[in-house]
Amino acid sequence: MKKNLLNHYVNNQLNYIEQNLNQFNKVKKPECLHQLRISIKRIKAIISFAEDIFKENHSIAELKSLFNKAGKIRELQIHIHLLELFPNHPKKIIKELKQKEDILIQQFTKNCNRNIKSINNFREQSCLPDKLPNQKVIIKYFNVEKKSATNKIKKVDRDELHKYRIKIKKLMYVYNFLPKKTQKEIEFNKVKIKRQQEQLGDWHDNYATITYLSRIKLPITSSKHILKLKEKEEKQFNTISTKLIEEQFNDKHTATNRIKKSLQN
- List pLDDT tens digits, range 149-168: 999 888 778 999 999 999 99
Angle at 201 between CA 178 and CA 213, to 5 degrees: 145
Closest to 46 measured CA to CA, from 171, 209, 219: 171
- List pLDDT tens digits, range 195-235: 999 999 999 999 998 888 877 766 655 677 778 889 999 99
Domain end position, chosen among 112, 131, 150: 131
- 195 is in which domain, residue-wise? 134-255
Q: Cite the beta strand spans of the chain per DSSP E.
A: none
Mark whether 95 and 219 lie in a shared domain: no
User: Residue 53: what pLDDT?
Assistant: 94
**With a threshold of 0.95, does the pTM exceed it?**
no
Cα distance between residue 181 and residue 47, in whole Å: 21
Residues 6+ apart with CB under 8 A from 71: 37
- List pLDDT tens digits, range 118-154: 999 999 998 999 889 899 999 999 999 999 999 988 8
Domain tally, the chain: 2
Mark whether 216 and 187 lie in a shared domain: yes
